[in-house]
Amino acid sequence: MSKPVATDPRPLIDALRASLQGPVIDREHADYGAARSVWNGLIDRRPAVIARCADTADVVETVRLASEYRPLVSIRGGGHQVAGSALCDDGLVIDLSAMRQVEVDPRRRVARVQGGATWADVDSATQQHALATPGGEVSTTGVGGFTLGGGMALTARRYGLACDNVRSLEIVTADGVVRTVSRDEHADLFWAARGGGRGIGVVTSFDFELHPLGPDVGAVTVFYPYDDAERILRTWAEFAPSLPESVTPQLILWSVPADPQIPEELHGVKAVVALGIYAGPAEEAAGDLAPLRELGTPLLDLSGTTPYLAVQSSVDELFPFGGRYYMKAHGLDTLADEAIATMLEWDARRPTPQSLVVLRTLGGAVARVGADESAFAHRSDRFNLSIDAGWIDPSLDVAAIGWARGMWDALRPHASGGVYVNFAGLDDETGATHEQRYGANQGRLDEVRASYDPAGLFAAAARRA
């Protein structure tokens, strides 16, 4: 029978403390403020209790008690998801942030990664063997949410999305059973976990396929004059999808960051930024990366050979913990002149220098996976356009969110209709439907969730997915 944790959390808290090895953090706990903080400072939620699980056995016990007491449930991995899905008001947070172990088998080229790990944890372990798997572009990004939502990376056209590189995973389903799932075991659950977002259970570990890469890679970072943005965008639309799959190019409308390696007179200047790395030996990179350095006369070219670890953490300081963030994204089949004009019209209203518009090029290995082979449905998009508002001052909340939403709405006529679940706004939004997020896969995904969670224990998490 359901027990209203929001009005009477003490029985659940007492039961958790009697059962778990890890700390159980309620509102009176000294660590409550830190424990309920996530990367996005825009998120301010107050759970009734946070169960910081020490291991899979703790997760099993937490799920068992959640089934008994029926609180609202959310699951925290790295706590980096922009919509704040790690937290819920007045409910139970199943917190995996203490479970960050990474075990690398270099012979099999497999990494076993616990559900609370970040991409910094993964990259630091795999690069000891000059191996990598597609991961987040900010190293503090959590592995779990990133992968479950798909996972676009700087090596995606060569190696696929993060979810395409999952060989198996361990998950605690709503009945408290620990299941190892793969193409051969519980294939339906494995299908859903690769791009279906949250709400299918608590993933306690992933086994990722690794690829030879690093420790150094060829990398491009070129700042072009903003006055040339329209021409560069048109050129980009024509040539980027035809680049070799060794390159997953990005184009960003941004402002030059105040980085010590950048001349001070350029700090804050609006620019068009071309980014990419070569997914292969660094000494072979120059030819495939050259087109990204030939889009015009640069303001600044920081390209060269650099450690893969440095690439993966290069923008961490520009997206600090506790900053305020709001992101929306569209899939695009083409980038027509009308879409470019709309982008630039709205980019002219960009509310802060920290805000940016990112154009990611897809295709390659991403597109070779069938749209129905995993829950990630948007395989045919040639581009993903991400509108990323970033700011510090809470008084800018309305303006920054309004800018991102307005630009997203204005670009809807030019979009494919698919929405990337990891950049879908805030949890309480209705601007992007589940059908837009999962396309034709929505019905099958609902069936899988109902099969493993008939009582809807993770239903709230699924709504945030």
8 A C-beta contact, residue 300 and residue 263: yes
What is the CA 153 to chain-centroid distance, rounded? 9
Q: How far is CA 63 from the centre of its chain?
A: 25
CA-CA distance, 353 to 390, in Å (whole number)? 8
219 membership: H or E segment, kind and range: strand 216-225
DSSP tag of 185: S
pLDDT at residue 4, as a whole number: 46
Residue 1: its pLDDT value, please? 38
> Per residue in 184-217, pLDDT tens?
999 999 999 999 988 899 999 999 999 999 999 9
How far apart are the C-alpha atoms of 293 and 282, rounded to whole Å?
16
Domains of the chain, each with CATH number or no CATH: 10-95 (3.30.43.10), 102-213+440-464 (3.30.465.10), 216-436 (3.40.462.20)
From CA 235, how far away is CA 231, in angstroms rounded? 6
Peptide bond into 11 cis (omega under 30): no
Beta strands in 256-315 (DSSP E): 270-277, 300-301, 304-307
Q: Is the pTM above the cut of 0.75?
A: yes
Long-range contacts, stretch 99-102, CB < 8 angstroms, 24+ apart: 99/53, 99/54, 99/55, 99/204, 102/126
**Which residues of the chain fall short of a pLDDT of 70?**
1-7, 427-435, 462-465
Please, are residues 427 and 165 in contact by the beta-carbon 8 Å criterion? no
Going through 46-173 in order, the beta strands assigned E by DSSP cover: 49-52, 73-76, 92-95, 102-105, 110-114, 131-132, 166-172
Phi/psi-derived region of residue 69, left when phi > 0, alpha when psi is between -120 and 50, beta in every other case: alpha
Order the strands of the 178-181 sheet from edge to edge: 102-105, 110-114, 202-209, 166-172, 178-181
